[in-house]
Amino acid sequence: MICSLRQPSIGITGSDVVLRQKHATPFQACSFLPPLALKKKPQKHVVSVNKPLHVASVSVGNFGSVKDLEGFGKRESDDLVKCGAYEADRSEIEAAGPSEAAKKVKIGIYFATWWALNVVFNIYNKKVLNAYPYPWLTSTLSLACGSLMMLISWATGIAESPKTDLEFWKTLLPVAVAHTIGHVAATVSMSKVAVSFTHIIKSGEPAFSVLVSRFLLGETFPVPVYLSLIPIIGGCALAAVTELNFNMTGFMGAMISNLAFVFRNIFSKKGMKGKSVSGMNYYACLSILSLALLTPFAIAVEGPQMWAAGWQIALSQIGPQFIWWVAAQSVFYHLYNQVSYMSLDEISPLTFSIGNTMKRISVIVSSIIIFHTPVQPVNALGAAIAVLGTFLYSQAKQ
């Protein structure tokens, strides 16, 4: 910012002017100056500097010196305003640059960590489900592991415990219900079909979001948002009809997961406004409440007897490393969700949506490579169209 102070007798021009606040006599605008008619034409001086200026001394007409701050300059009776200044160091102004750069680096680290953790989770989750096809227990273990990690972090002081009350948990309840349904449905889907197919169908979540918001909440969107749904729906449909290992349970699980996560987001936006709990602690509270909701249903649907029999079979076929697979998928599930919620505190929803689209691409590609999933060209085309539509949606919605 260029600041300028001008009177007929002198001009000072610089990149900044810094007044020290320690002086007892404040200097205010001199509206009491006498008329500017002078007996002799004063000599004009223009001082141009690249560094900010500290004002050193100020003298006002015949009213005397306000204060000689640093001993700079001598009074001249024929000057209306005399101001002495010296150049300050630029380090304070230049400090903003590195902080902005550090913030971008921090966001980049969040994104890279989020994508990497999500890819690792999906790989281990699919390994576990192939050997141990009990998605309800697998989902429960994921939530239990994350809840335990956060409880230990709060107890040991590693993370600051959230300040919650009964009203907070009441507000969180519908969010937790939707989160639980979406989590279990996605796990059921991945137990029946390829990871890539599940994520291709889950890329259609924006279509559910627009439809639910339009017909249930009465919200309207710009025309480009509706147009972006065409490639999303068309790409998902093309990928589904050309999927070599299509399974209706897997397909419906991914669709139910989309719908549940849309309601989770709606409830979260409506109920959590003004709440102080956010980011890492918000997701931790969500995991704890979801675990409490899911556990009795997991026991009723599958039950300890099925779990024990399946566990023995998996251990006999895979060996002790199966235990590591279960632990890894549980830990990485919590970590990738935790990092995603932490990154949401640092970036805009648009940037988050784009990051989520890129994350889905990384999961689809990596799972196809690792599991050697057979993909037909038309199937890959459908996936690409659906993902592109998701990206266009994030742009149009902004």
Determine contact, residues 341/280, Cβ cutoff 8 Å: yes
- Quote the percentage of the chain above a pLDDT of 90: 40
Which residues, in sequence order, are CB contacts of 150 under 8 Å at separation 6+? 159, 280, 281, 284, 287, 288
pLDDT at residue 174 in the model = 94
Task: Give residue 230's pLDDT band: very low, low, confident or very high (50, 70, 90).
Answer: very high
- In this structure, of 53-57, 167-171, 172-176, 190-194, the range with the lowest mean pLDDT score is 53-57
Is position 373 within any domain?
yes
Is position 264 within any domain?
yes
> Residue 86: how many CB atoms within 10 A of its CB?
12
The average pLDDT across 165-169 equals 89
Determine contact, residues 163/367, Cβ cutoff 8 Å: no
> Residue 391: how many CB atoms within 10 A of its CB?
19
Give the pLDDT confidence of 1-14 residue by residue, as tens digits: 444 444 444 444 44
Task: Give residue 61's pLDDT band: very low, low, confident or very high (50, 70, 90).
Answer: low
Which residues, in sequence order, are CB contacts of 346 under 8 Å at separation 6+? 103, 106, 107, 110
The average pLDDT across 154-162 equals 90
Determine contact, residues 314/106, Cβ cutoff 8 Å: no
Is position 161 within any domain?
yes
Task: Give residue 176's pLDDT band: very low, low, confident or very high (50, 70, 90).
Answer: very high
Task: Give residue 124's pLDDT band: very low, low, confident or very high (50, 70, 90).
Answer: very high
Is position 73 within any domain?
no
Is position 276 within any domain?
yes
- In this structure, of 87-91, 102-106, 170-174, 231-235, the range with the lowest mean pLDDT score is 87-91
β-strands 53-60, 17-18: how paired?
Answer: parallel
Is position 85 within any domain?
no
If you compute the radius of gyration of the chain from its CA atoms, what whole number of angstroms results? 32
Number of domains comprising the chain: 1
The DSSP code for 89 is: P
Is position 339 within any domain?
yes
Residue 215 has pLDDT above 90, yes or no: no
Segments forming the whole domain that contains residue 352? 101-397
Q: Which of 291 and 351 is assigned the larger pLDDT? A: 291
Q: How far apart are CA 358 and CA 352, in angstroms?
A: 10
β-strands 3-7, 10-14: how paired?
Answer: antiparallel
Which residues, in sequence order, are CB contacts of 230 under 8 Å at separation 6+? 389
Residue 36 has pLDDT above 50, yes or no: no
Q: How far apart are CA 364 and CA 119, in angstroms?
A: 9
Task: Give residue 280's pLDDT band: very low, low, confident or very high (50, 70, 90).
Answer: confident
Is position 267 within any domain?
yes
- The one-letter code for the residue type at 126 is K
Note every long-range contact of 281-285, with CB atoms under 8 Å and residues 24 or more positions apart, other chains counting. Answer: 281/150, 281/159, 281/160, 281/161, 281/162, 282/162, 282/341, 283/146, 283/337, 283/338, 283/341, 284/146, 284/147, 284/150, 284/162, 284/338, 285/162, 285/164, 285/168, 285/169, 285/172
- How far is residue 68 from each of residues 52, 54, 58, 83, 309, measured CA to CA in Å? 20, 13, 7, 10, 90
- How far is residue 372 from each of residues 131, 195, 218, measured CA to CA in Å? 17, 11, 44
